[in-house]
Amino acid sequence: MQQATTQSGIIDTSYREAVREAIRDAIKRDERVFLMGEDIGRYGGCYAVTKGLLAELGPERIRDTPLSESGFTGAGIGAAMAGMRPIVELMTVNFSLLALDQILNTAATVRHMSGNQCGVPLVIRMATGAGRQLAAQHSHSLEGWYAHIPGLKVLTPATLEDARGMLWTALEDPDPVLIFENVMLYNMTGKLATDAGPVGIDKAAVRRTGRDISLITYGGSLWKTIEAATALAAQGIEAEVIDLRSLRPLDDATIMTSVTKTRRAVIVDEGWRSGSLAAEVGMRIVEQAFWALDAPIGRVCSEEVPIPYPSHLESAAIPQTPKIVAAVKAALGRP
């Protein structure tokens, strides 16, 4: 890595650099791995994630594609079925809709409809989320939507460790894995161990422990939720924060253990409220931990509106720390 070493074994890095290092590491580790997508090579990546990789790894491993999302996603599926381990970068979730046929009708179904003869060990990465004033067509958070689909796995790395470590584990998975990188996290900086490597992808993580309420979230909303928990602590409310990490499958055990302990839950999800992942998590709590609850489950989701361009309206449309604080107080019956 190119980052300055500030102390032995720990580096200062960013989410963007952690993802880049994960890609570089995977390609060097396994000759079957290659990355393809729009503007990943000569341009250096829409969010500069892949900057420098073309020069270092060459055009066979860092393959620029035309604007043919369905075509090159399908190419990733076929290459995976024929023994490669492709990483397809779809730039953003917004453009993934142009590849939805291949993701849903092919990648997610082939193992099943072939009676287990063909698997698709493909990883698809894409940016997701609002917050950069990119307006209604470039600000979707559809990861919860993809989590509806049997046959797919859906990951949402929120920390530097997960940005660095989830990719390799996903590549080792025999089934298609979608990785959603929230656009607001790419500039996030922090410390990372120099030997940081693959991480598990099947468990949620308790990012903050607390006794009074469980805040269940993922991706870009994790840091707003932690900020809310810190503010609440100053008022004597100890919130437990769960980072789901994987939206499909969901780690029910970690959720229920926490909710059973705190007896209250608020779910924070940048997806729109109706038919959201938050609705799924909430319903699972009702199914599995209803008798442990002392209060109705709360939700902080995006408002039911396409994401607007002006900053103040965009901010109001998606989950923010004050809304999370207010939802927690409502669940606790506190003023």
Whichever of 81 and 222 has its CB closer to other proteins, that residue is: 81
Please, which residue, 83 or 236, has the CB nearer to other proteins? 83
Q: Which of 150, 236, 333, 335 binds other proteins (CB under 8 A)?
A: 150
Token reading at 312? 């103040």
Q: Does the footprint of other proteins cover residue 71 (CB under 8 A)?
A: yes
Interface residue with other proteins, options 30, 39, 101, 303 (CB under 8 A): 101
57 touches other proteins (CB under 8 A): no
- Candidates 17, 21, 38, 69; catalytic one: 69
CA separation for the pair 220, 307 (Å, rounded): 16
- What's the rounded Cα separation, in Å, for the pair 214 and 327? 12
Q: Which stretch binds other proteins (CB under 8 A): 9-17, 64-72, 265-273, 321-329?
A: 64-72
Q: Is the peptide bond before 310 cis (omega within 30 degrees of 0)?
A: no
- Residue 114 as a binder of other proteins (CB under 8 A): the answer is yes
Query: Is residue 138 annotated as part of the catalytic site, yes or no?
Result: yes
Closer by beta carbon to other proteins, 61 or else 299: 61
Pairing assessment for the beta strands 246-248 and 153-155 based on DSSP bridges: antiparallel
Q: Is 312 a catalytic residue?
A: no
Helices (H) and strands (E) in the chain, counts: 13, 15
Helix axes 277-289, 252-262, angle to 10 degrees: 60
Residue bearing tokens 């530097």 = 160
Please, which residue, 36 or 126, has the CB nearer to other proteins?
36
Determine contact, residues 124/179, Cβ cutoff 8 Å. yes
Matching residue, tokens 């000759």 = 31
Q: Is 113 a binder of other proteins (CB under 8 A)? A: yes
The answer to whether residue 105 forms part of the interface with other proteins (CB under 8 A) is: yes
CA separation, residue 217 to residues 1, 153, 233, 255 (Å)? 30, 17, 18, 10
Q: Which of residues 210-249 bind other proteins (CB under 8 A)?
A: 249
Does position 303 bind other proteins by CB under 8 A? no
Active-site annotation, residues: 69, 138
Residues that bind other proteins (CB under 8 A): 34, 60, 65-66, 68, 70-84, 86, 101-102, 105-106, 110-119, 150-151, 153, 173-175, 202, 249, 252
